[in-house]
Amino acid sequence: MRGAYDASETYVNALRFRSSLTRLSFLALVIVPVILATIFYGLVAAPRYTSEAQFIVRSVSSQRANGLEMLFRTFGLSRTVDDAYAVQKYIQSRDVVRALEERGYSIEKIFGHPSADFLSRYPRFWRKDSVEARYDYFLDRVSVTEDSVKGITLLKVASFDPVSARDVASALIKLAEEMVNRMNARAQRDVIDVAEKELRQAESNIIEAQAALTAFRNRELMIDPSKSSLGIIETIATLSSEIAFTSAQLKELRINSPANPAIPSMVAKITTLEDKVKEERTKLAGGDSSLSGKMAIYEQLALKRELTEKSLASALKSLDVARQEARRQHIYIEQVVAAHLTDEATEPRRLRGIFTVFVLGFAVFAVIWILSVGAGEHAQ
């Protein structure tokens, strides 16, 4: 009997201990956090003012069209998803934090406002001031989201002063526009530089071709060998006609007057004319110094100049197309809603914060309570 009584008393004591532990756990995990959260959000937490700005990244070259973008297409404009994403990443980058500080928007000055509470102001008491600390704090106060259907990007800046929130949001939009302008300038420079390089090369080639042709003319003392050859061909034709005429006269004299003293002179004339024809033909084609060789060199030089002229015309056309393409790929930021000066604090959401603390604390308490009940039943 004594053993049964001790076991019953031990069980009752265990139940009392678990009951006390449950009450303490509920107090520590639910009641105390909710009270602290109520005090913090009700009395300590400083109001934060949120300034919003909405913008669209527009581009002429985008091929995607949906939702509100169809309206922009009626004006020949559209947005690019990649460029919009690049703008969003830039706004949330360390570069933009550094650019803000260079323009007088110091993170410590803006978010270290005297009205801020000790948990929310910068620098936070548990972390020293550093570049990474300023960047992490900046991400907590600045958010950028995009409506993938309409293509509108929403920028929110929360600060303890409504003027600072508006000024920072406006500065971020301006920095984003400057970044987009740099992207445009580089894209245009990359596209046009290649075309201009090809144009300069084509100009250099045509100058070299023309210089080679001029040097040939100065060296050979003739403008166009083909025209010079026409004169030689005409001379040969004239001499051949004269040879034929003289030969006919000679043949007639030999038939009608074989003893005519003019026959030897006519024979000598025919021989001289034939020698002259041979000489002219040698000039036309008969060695390296002949006109045919010079014509071959001249035609090569003329063909090279003609090809370089075509290449120059093609390079000029390519440059014009590159400039048009560069203008077509131009992107820019269009503000749909400018950053506004809010007259009412939107953060922190006090009731939601208190309720969140209650739900989390109660959830942890419930898990511990279930485990303790299960352990008690197992021990029993």
Rg (CA), the chain: 49
What pLDDT was estimated at residue 171?
92
Q: What is the pLDDT of residue 174?
A: 92
Give residue 173's pLDDT: 92
| Number of residues assigned to the chain | 380
Q: Angle 291-328/262-284 helices, nearest 10 degrees?
A: 30
Spatial separation of the C-alpha atoms in residues 62 and 73, rounded to whole Å: 10
Q: For position 304, what pLDDT does the model report?
A: 85
Residues of the chain with pLDDT below 50 are 1, 4-5, 62-79
- Residue 155: predicted pLDDT: 92
Residues in a beta bridge with 144: 155
> Which pair of tokens denotes residue 352?
């939601």
The backbone torsions φ and ψ at residue 78, rounded to the nearest 5 degrees and listed phi first, read -160, 170
| Distance in angstroms between the alpha carbons of the first and the last residue of the chain | 19
Cis peptide before 123 (omega within 30 of 0): yes
Locus of tokens 């308490």:
365
CA torsion 254→257→262→266, rounded to 10°? -20
> Dihedral (C-alpha) 283, 285, 288, 289: value to the nearest 10 degrees?
10
191: which 2 tokens? 């596209």
Where on the phi/psi map is residue 67: left (φ > 0), alpha (ψ -120 to 50), or beta? left
Paired sense of beta strands 78-79 and 142-146, if any: unpaired
- Indicate the SS3 state at residue 352: helix
C-beta contacts of 232-236 below 8 A and 24+ residues apart: 232/280, 232/283, 232/284, 232/291, 233/284, 235/280, 236/277, 236/280, 236/281, 236/284
Which among 335, 350, 342, 344 is positioned nearest to 155, based on CA atoms?
335
Type of residue found at 153? T
How many CB atoms neighbour CB 357 within 10 A?
19
- CB environment 9-21: b (16+ within 10 A), e (fewer): eeeeeeeeebeee
Write the DSSP symbol of residue 155: E
Helix (H) or strand (E) holding 220: helix 162-220
What is the model's pTM?
0.59
Amino acid 170: pLDDT: 92
What DSSP character marks residue 347? Answer: B
